[in-house]
Structure 1
Amino acid sequence: MKTIGIYRRVFPLTSEAFIKEQSYNMMRYQPTFISNTLLQDIPFSNIAVSQNDLLGIKQAAFLLTRSHKLFKDFDSLRNLALIHAHFGPDGVYAMSIAEELRVPLMVTFHGYDITISRTALWRKGKFLYYQLIFHEEELKRKATKFLAVSNFIKNKLLEKKYPKEKIIQHYIGVDIEKFSPGKKSKERYILCVGRHTQKKGIDTLLRAFAKITNKHPEVLLIQVGTGTLSNTLHSLTKALGIEQRVRFLGAQPHEVVLNLMRGAEVFALASQTAKNGDCEGLPIVINEASACGIPVVSTWHSGIPEAILDGETGFLVQEKDDVALAEKLDILLSDCAIGEKMGQHGRQFTCEMFDIRKQTSKLEAIYDSLIQQF
């Protein structure tokens, strides 16, 4: 069994459980995680700059220099056959590691890392974004392959002049055995899972929900997530007069989200393009909801139409259209049979297209080809 390195600058993050899930499902490759900052113990072989760096000096130095010499026991990585980095900025940091090890580098682009304008990234004032901006052309030349999590992201990479021959579209997938239909909750609710950022469109969902609360007085909106817009969204909920009908649960573990999905009547995510161009890649949470047999109401945004078949596995509306969103939510809440049928079709479609075991097997085949060609 060959060993590969998976680079993620900060790991693990609650919102990025898909990276661990993908690793758990590898059958022919053994992953070793490489990080600048390791937040907690993980059940994988790992190496991090943060180990024995109580004051964070080495971590800061790595952000500035990208030097592999800041890793303690770096030579333990000499057996790696490939480096796989998640997100564009991480690809720049992993590039120096792959060069030192003389192994192929593959970078997965997920969304913001290719859709936010480089001017907007610069204004964020984070050094890792500066590194991407300064070294993006070098990354295009030196990386062996780029994975796009949706066809939408593939097209964005092409727009940014990433080499066509280096781009592969690959869906990450979800665990269809874990995310599976369960018993509906006695309490009726719409579920939304998403960080409180502009691109998630939670304000649009709140306005849509406010339009149908009188018609469906027994239905709640449960929202899982947190972020920079939390206070704004809480204030909007009060302004709309629906604070008694909306439950903000904050960030929750994967297991809690799973139970909430199984009990939900509808899953809703009103994703939209943010002012700085930030877009989704393909929200994994939508695949998870469909795998649970829940109809999804979302938007014609980014890779979402690749995961939701409008009128078959859910409904799609235009971005920021709270009126159309309210109409689709009303249809599903008014006729449970429609939702059940859509949920069944969604489960079938997800099992066919987004089974993480199938998708990880395809990923390992990509690893095979890169290692053989390098």
Structure 2
Amino acid sequence: MKAAFSARNSIRPSMSAVEKHPGSSLSTKAGDADIMPKCTIVAKTFGATSEVWLYRQAVNMSRLRPQVICWEQQNAEAYSLSDIPLVKLPYDAIPENGSGRWLRRLRNAPSGNYYGTLGSERSDISSALRDHASDIIICHFGPIALRVLPVAVSLGIPLVAHFHGFDISTSLKNKWYRKSLQRSLSKFAALVVVATYQRDALIELGADPNKIHVIPCGSPIAGEVTNREDAGEVDGGCRFIFVGRFVEKKDPIATLRAFASCRVQLPNVTLEMIGDGPLLNQCRETASELQLGDSVQFLGSQTNEIVMQRLLAADVFVQHSITAANGDKEGWPVSIAEAMGYGLPVVSTRHAGIVDQVVEGQTGYLVDEGDWQEMAARMVEIATPAVRSRMGNASKERATKFFDFHMQIAELETLLTQYSETKRNLAS
């Protein structure tokens, strides 16, 4: 078998970054683990800084014994799995875009799932599932769920497909993906989405509404947060922050234009932008053209610990999400939930899962996509210390009640455990 198992023992992030639950898989007694249902988490990439929620999910399972299967692993030291086995497959991570895609489609034509795994990769995935004695599989993102589905069906292991964003928006424009998904929906044990609009999209594709579960990824919730009413400078200062990839669907250029307009009325405001991506250089150029000077700081990609420190030092979170030209949308932006969990009010857009997160007029303000002028006006309004303090407290309260990732993982585990028991009952 080409795939390699590995039990990582590298340095793990601090507890503030991981927020590991004391009853999680990394702290479960061996005797208890032996009787737990076994879950296999499958994702294209494991350890990406933009998908820290996936790491949190793996290390915080308390009722399932997980293993991870992936095609790419990043930041292995920072996101160590300790005693959780990881199988890294030595194959093309996105074969549906490669030169052999037509042969792949031809071989998969009888099943109607053009994304299904084939050949030695299929054998290696099957071996990894059997070796772990998997009772349940959860696949993150639609293309990966379709890829693993033929193996799950052949082994009689329930597979839960977890959708996040592009896989339920722009990917549907690909006729091969759309047809594969439509023909396979009934074969998944359950379908998990992170936002209500995604539930509607799956129903439109023909999914059984009873099989769809809205379970956001969740985020860490800070402990006691210093009252930010007096955190800004007394001369009208307010510290705005953006955290995310510099990509079209997050439209960081619109955020910069809104900030520049806000700064005309409030010259002492500042903006920190954390992240990397293809639009970063263009954003630097835009900031220069707008003569924003030192009022804007581009901090690049940062560790989870640094991001949390900067959230604690900020006053308001801003993000101007839009539907990209290719149809790509947000799912349930974890960065917004994290900001709310750290007591920040939010100024964003009426887009995708953001409307499930931000309560307009209570935890922040939402504007129409592309309307950076209105965003600027809302930034001026929320910069008032009393307003941002009130809304920040409401954000923290809402995040604590609905977004705590321990709670979301527990809900997901309940669902996975239910289907794993179905498999165990059939086996017995």
Q: Distance in 2 between matches of 1:266 and 1:175?
A: 17
- 1:357 equivalent in structure 2: 406
1:77 aligns with 2:126: no
Segment drifting more, 74-83 vs 148-157: 74-83
* 8 A Cα contact 1:88 1:113, kept in partner: yes
Change (3 A) 1:137 1:327: same
Unmatched runs of 5 consecutive residues or more in structure 1: 51-57, 123-129
User: What SS is found at the alignment partner of 2:409?
Assistant: helix
1:260 aligns with 2:310: yes
Question: Structure 1 residue 71: deviation in Å?
Answer: 5.2
Q: Which amino acid aligns with 2:346?
A: V
Question: Structure 1 residue 32: deviation in Å?
Answer: 0.5
1:113 aligns with 2:162: no
Q: Which amino acid aligns with 1:181?
A: V
Q: Distance in 1 between matches of 2:264 and 2:133?
A: 63
Change (3 A) 1:140 1:243: farther
Structure 1 residues 31-180: aligned runs within 5 Å: 31-41=66-76, 42-43=80-81, 44-50=84-90, 58-59=91-92, 65-66=117-118, 67-70=121-124, 74=128, 77-116=131-170, 118-119=172-173, 121=174, 132-133=177-178, 135-177=180-222
Q: Distance in 2 between matches of 1:325 and 1:133?
A: 35
User: What SS is found at the alignment partner of 2:138?
Assistant: strand
Change (3 A) 1:40 1:217: closer
Q: Distance in 2 between matches of 1:100 and 1:252?
A: 42
Q: Which amino acid aligns with 1:159?
A: E
Q: Distance in 2 between matches of 1:208 and 1:347?
A: 25
Structure showing greater radius of gyration is 2
- 2:61 equivalent in structure 1: 26
Question: Structure 1 residue 134: deviation in Å?
Answer: 5.9
For residues 191-214 of structure 1, give each alpha carbon's deviation from its aligned partner in whole angstroms, at most 9, with x where no partner exists: 001211111021111111111223
1:228 aligns with 2:278: yes
Change (3 A) 1:371 1:255: same
Q: 1:193 aligns with which of 209, 227, 243?
A: 243
Question: Structure 1 residue 341: deviation in Å?
Answer: 0.9
Change (3 A) 1:218 1:237: same
User: What SS is found at the alignment partner of 1:310?
Assistant: coil
* 8 A Cα contact 1:182 1:263, kept in partner: no
Q: Distance in 2 between matches of 1:146 and 1:103?
A: 15
Q: Which amino acid aligns with 1:233?
A: C
Segment drifting more, 292-301 vs 226-235: 226-235
1:287 aligns with 2:337: yes
Q: Distance in 2 between matches of 1:75 and 1:109?
A: 21
- 2:11 equivalent in structure 1: none
1:369 aligns with 2:413: no
Q: 1:181 aligns with which of 225, 243, 265?
A: 225
* 8 A Cα contact 2:182 2:206, kept in partner: no
Q: 2:377 aligns with which of 327, 331, 346?
A: 327
Segment drifting more, 305-314 vs 217-226: 217-226
- 1:205 equivalent in structure 2: 255
Structure 1 residues 234-245: aligned runs within 5 Å: 234-245=284-295
* 8 A Cα contact 1:111 1:281, kept in partner: yes
User: What SS is found at the alignment partner of 2:265?
Assistant: coil
* 8 A Cα contact 2:67 2:132, kept in partner: no
Q: Which amino acid aligns with 2:225?
A: P
Question: Structure 1 residue 361: deviation in Å?
Answer: 1.4
Q: Which amino acid aligns with 2:405?
A: I
User: What SS is found at the alignment partner of 1:223?
Assistant: strand
For residues 131-154 of structure 1, give each alpha carbon's deviation from its aligned partner in whole angstroms, at most 9, with x where no partner exists: x35632343132111101011211
Question: Structure 1 residue 329: deviation in Å?
Answer: 0.6
Runs of 4+ in 1 over 4 A off after TM superposition: 60-66, 182-188
* 8 A Cα contact 1:36 1:62, kept in partner: no
With structure 1 as the length reference, what TM-score do the two structures score? Answer: 0.88
Question: Structure 1 residue 279: deviation in Å?
Answer: 1.0
Change (3 A) 1:71 1:302: closer
* 8 A Cα contact 2:72 2:93, kept in partner: no
User: What SS is found at the alignment partner of 1:176?
Assistant: coil
Q: Which amino acid aligns with 1:298?
A: S
Q: Distance in 2 between matches of 1:349 and 1:373?
A: 35
With structure 2 as the length reference, what TM-score do the two structures score? Answer: 0.77
Q: 2:390 aligns with which of 326, 330, 341?
A: 341
Question: Structure 1 residue 373: deviation in Å?
Answer: 3.7
Question: Structure 1 residue 62: deviation in Å?
Answer: 7.0
Q: Distance in 2 between matches of 1:197 and 1:61?
A: 20
* 8 A Cα contact 2:46 2:54, kept in partner: no
* 8 A Cα contact 1:317 1:324, kept in partner: yes
For residues 193-243 of structure 1, give each alpha carbon's deviation from its aligned partner in whole angstroms, at most 9, with x where no partner exists: 121111102111111111122332222111111112222222222222224
Question: Structure 1 residue 304: deviation in Å?
Answer: 0.8
Unmatched runs of 5 consecutive residues or more in structure 2: 1-35, 97-103, 105-116, 424-428
Question: Structure 1 residue 285: deviation in Å?
Answer: 0.9
Q: Distance in 2 between matches of 1:39 and 1:207?
A: 34
- 2:6 equivalent in structure 1: none
User: What SS is found at the alignment partner of 1:190?
Assistant: strand
Q: Which amino acid aligns with 1:324?
A: E
* 8 A Cα contact 2:343 2:395, kept in partner: yes
